[in-house]
Structure 1
Amino acid sequence: MSTELRVLTASEWDTWLGCTELAFGGVPISPEGREMYASLTEPQRAIGHWDGAECVGTAGAHSFRVTVPGGAAVPAAGVTMVTVAATHRRQGLLTAMMRRQLDDVRSWGEPLAVLLASEPGIYGRFGYGAATTEMNLRIDTSRARLALPAGTDAVRMRRSSPLEALDACEAVYARLAETRPGTPVRRPGWERMPVNDPESTRKGGSPLQCVLAERDGEVLGYATFGLRPSWDEAGPRGTVAVRDLAALDPASYAALWRFLCGIDLMSVVECHNRPPDDAVLRLVSDVRRCEVRLRDGLYVRLVELGAALEARTYRTPVDVVLEVEDTFCPWNAGRWRLTAGAKGDAVCRRTDEEPELALSVSALASAYLGGVSLTTLAAAGQVRETRAGALAEAALAFSSDVQPWCPHGF
């Protein structure tokens, strides 16, 4: 069967989006969501497979910058809306789109591509590696108490509508984005994503609400959430569904959690995407009442390996020769010498020297943001040490003080 793969035109966007809706179950995106995606989609960075007038495959790439260890915001393609119609599976459409897309990303001068996978098993063969973890929580507030740091009582809680508080929340987000690898630096328009609140996604709950944490008139944190009231024979059993929570200091952070855990008629606080090192686990009196569950988060692809490794800083000085396997982007394959001091002066160049570590590009991508240890990957057989001591040195250098995390979808 013959199909045509081409760049999207603005007039084809509705048909292209219809293909993605069908691939994700056929449930139409809400009018609010459709309008938002229309404003955020960059047609010149989107591609589609066409079988005559029918769109049968889609892939988009947002213009992103993503924080890496050291705080730099590195250009990255935010890969999204990747689908193949059920009628056209197993015909090579996905491979063709991944090939075209990574070639395009390279031509745009973006050293990274990132995505959130609906099916994690798909993207490893294209060189992506799972680089962040997200944590889901379900806190039983009737049985878990909070140990609050000094200064919590000085923080004022103020309700606001999510839209009215948008600028204040974005200011907090922007400051925190510099401190945690994996966080997208939001471009204008993307601030709407976290407050998109179609009724169809509320599971019978309230519209999205917002509370601000303030001290001396300054907004130091915020939380957005919905409430799902419920009762059983014993009384109220409502759920606080947290969308976002961020704060600039420990007292404001703790004050927000105290507020959420103390809302009347609610007995559960539910979060579906928190960083795996979230300090709330150190605030609660009994972590066993938090129903912690971890899952894969952001997937990273090193499109230009040398430029990507030079863009981040390293926890300790490092000098190591890597032998990298990359069959899908062969310009990355081969031996690279990475040298870096403690001042962000990394250099990664081709070399003929003997390798000291051998690994695939997907394993290197998993370690890139500092959340997956090269030592762990070696234990799984994904990194091979050929110089004694090279693994421990590189693993320490690649590590991060804070766990990488992607706080929202795209």
Structure 2
Amino acid sequence: MALEIRPNTIDEFKNLKQTNARASGLIYSDSDIDTFRLLFDPERSLCAFENGKIVGNVASYYTDMTIPGGTFLPTAGVAQVSVQATHRRKGILTMLMRRQLNEINERDEPIAFLGASETAIYGRFGYGVSSFIQEWEFDKHNNTKFINGFNPKGQIQFIEIEDAKKIFPDVYEKIRPSRPGFVSRKRANWDNNTGWDWVFKKSTLFGQNPNRFFIKYTVNSETQGYAIYKVNQTGPFAGELTIMELMALNIDAYKSLWRFCLDMDLVNTVKAPDRPLDDPILWMLQNSRRKRTLTDSGWLRIVNVEKALAKRAYSFEGEINLQIEDKVCDWNNGIFNLQGSPLGAKCNRSSEKADIVISASSLASIYFGTTSFSNLFSAGLVEENTPGSIQIADSMFRTNNYPWFTDIW
């Protein structure tokens, strides 16, 4: 099997997407492919060709992601990972992923991030699950009242799609520094956010779906939050409202937007499929027993340990020596002295004894505060050489907010 591995050209993009879709059991229309092309960067793609035909591919998009402390870190958004069913189990994906990680490191992007269709694939390449989301389902006939009374300060207004494109990005950007996992959204992301709903429902985040609505919450003419929702009819004068996105700058806006959705007439069920683990809605309701589904939403790869650890902030001032074991990115192997505080950090290679031994994938799961050193120690994934060092590391890496990965590229 003679393979040629090289970037995909823009002229080959249609063939790339059709091949990528086939691997996932999908068929893309020309319109779908045009949407994907808006974010495509040929130089960041890699394809495996056999006799001129694409049999495997990976790609990435440049973005920057919020990390603990509010810094925006250059990030490779990995996507379009697939191998044709006729060529699986032949090492093609391993070749592509290894080369991609080398190129990401050469571009000086300390982390990479992806949404996994199959979670068993990416751990062997050093990715670790680093973000979870929960889906809530509210039966409106089962008491959706708040525990405390609520008197909103502002008002909710419907707006049209073009106004939403202008107003919503400003709110999102104001929230970004406080939420690890948020990424920069280019105009193409706002125009054509290629999330799961787009893939299967054939409608974009701002698509012309007739039952998709845009609302904003304003106080003294200042927008303090927004929501995007859709309604599917489930019977005569009965529907299911799905909150596609709800963002708020403060608790007043948050409560107002939720109350609006929960009180919608001619709706029996309200669903919120993409909410962070620390969403406070559960604690606000008189009846908190609701149907909830938990799933992973993002996988992180620390491409350059030294730079990634030095860029984030830490909740507690401390110092530890971490020994990193990385089977793919060998430049990460070794012992690193980390000195961190809420004001910043320093991370350098060290010849001292390691306090903690950890794999690259386990460190990725801890990096955003999704889990802890002690939790992974209990799972047998972390070694403690210096007694008490795990407690110090837990205090340092703890975050105020859970990560929330809202975008799929």
The residue aligned with 1:222 is 226
Equivalences for residues 258-277 of structure 1 within 5 A? 258-277=259-278
Name the CA distance, whole Å, in 2 between partners of 1:288 and 1:29: 42
The residue aligned with 2:361 is 362
Equivalences for residues 154-303 of structure 1 within 5 A? 154-194=153-193, 201=201, 206-231=210-235, 236-289=237-290, 291-303=291-303
Shift of 1:202: 7.0
Equivalences for residues 88-103 of structure 1 within 5 A? 88-103=87-102
2:178 is paired with a residue of what secondary structure?
coil
CA contact (8 A) 2:147 2:285 kept: no
The residue aligned with 2:206 is none
The residue aligned with 1:402 is 401
Name the CA distance, whole Å, in 1 between partners of 2:19 and 2:242: 30
Name the CA distance, whole Å, in 2 between partners of 1:6 and 1:329: 20
Shift of 1:273: 1.1
Distance 1:17 1:113, change over 3 A: same
1:132 is paired with a residue of what secondary structure?
strand
Q: What code does the residue aligned with 1:192 have?
A: D
Equivalences for residues 312-327 of structure 1 within 5 A? 312-327=312-327
Name the CA distance, whole Å, in 2 between partners of 1:44 and 1:55: 16
Name the CA distance, whole Å, in 1 between partners of 2:282 and 2:42: 42
Name the CA distance, whole Å, in 2 between partners of 1:59 and 1:243: 28
Shift of 1:287: 2.1
Name the CA distance, whole Å, in 2 between partners of 1:384 and 1:94: 30
1:377 is paired with a residue of what secondary structure?
helix
Shift of 1:145: 2.0
CA contact (8 A) 2:194 2:408 kept: no
Q: What code does the residue aligned with 1:270 have?
A: K
Name the CA distance, whole Å, in 2 between partners of 1:188 and 1:388: 50
CA contact (8 A) 1:149 1:251 kept: no
1:367 is paired with a residue of what secondary structure?
helix
The residue aligned with 1:4 is 4
Q: Does 1:306 align with 2:296?
A: no
CA contact (8 A) 2:138 2:144 kept: no
The residue aligned with 1:328 is 328
The residue aligned with 1:143 is 142
Name the CA distance, whole Å, in 1 between partners of 2:247 and 2:24: 30
Distance 1:66 1:336, change over 3 A: same
CA contact (8 A) 1:199 1:207 kept: no
Unaligned runs of 5+ in 1: none
More moved, 206-215 vs 112-121: 206-215
2:309 is paired with a residue of what secondary structure?
helix
Name the CA distance, whole Å, in 2 between partners of 1:296 and 1:198: 19
Shift of 1:343: 1.1
Name the CA distance, whole Å, in 1 between partners of 2:247 and 2:155: 15
CA contact (8 A) 1:162 1:195 kept: no
TM-score by length of 2: 0.94
Name the CA distance, whole Å, in 2 between partners of 1:325 and 1:43: 32
The residue aligned with 2:119 is 120
2:114 is paired with a residue of what secondary structure?
strand
The residue aligned with 2:62 is 63
CA deviation vs aligned residue, 1:102-160 (integer Å, no higher than 9, x gap)? 00001101100111100011000000000111111111122132327677432211001
Name the CA distance, whole Å, in 2 between partners of 1:119 and 1:325: 24
Shift of 1:342: 3.0
Distance 1:199 1:13, change over 3 A: closer
2:163 is paired with a residue of what secondary structure?
coil
Distance 1:250 1:30, change over 3 A: farther
CA contact (8 A) 1:319 1:340 kept: yes
Q: What code does the residue aligned with 1:128 have?
A: Y
2:109 is paired with a residue of what secondary structure?
coil
How many residues are paired up?
403
2:162 is paired with a residue of what secondary structure?
coil
Shift of 1:226: 0.7
Name the CA distance, whole Å, in 2 between partners of 1:211 and 1:285: 25
Name the CA distance, whole Å, in 1 between partners of 2:200 and 2:186: 26
Name the CA distance, whole Å, in 2 between partners of 1:108 and 1:226: 40
Name the CA distance, whole Å, in 2 between partners of 1:47 and 1:342: 39
Distance 1:178 1:100, change over 3 A: same
The residue aligned with 1:109 is 108
Distance 1:207 1:236, change over 3 A: closer
Unaligned runs of 5+ in 2: 204-208
Shift of 1:372: 1.2
More moved, 124-133 vs 188-197: 188-197
Distance 1:152 1:20, change over 3 A: farther
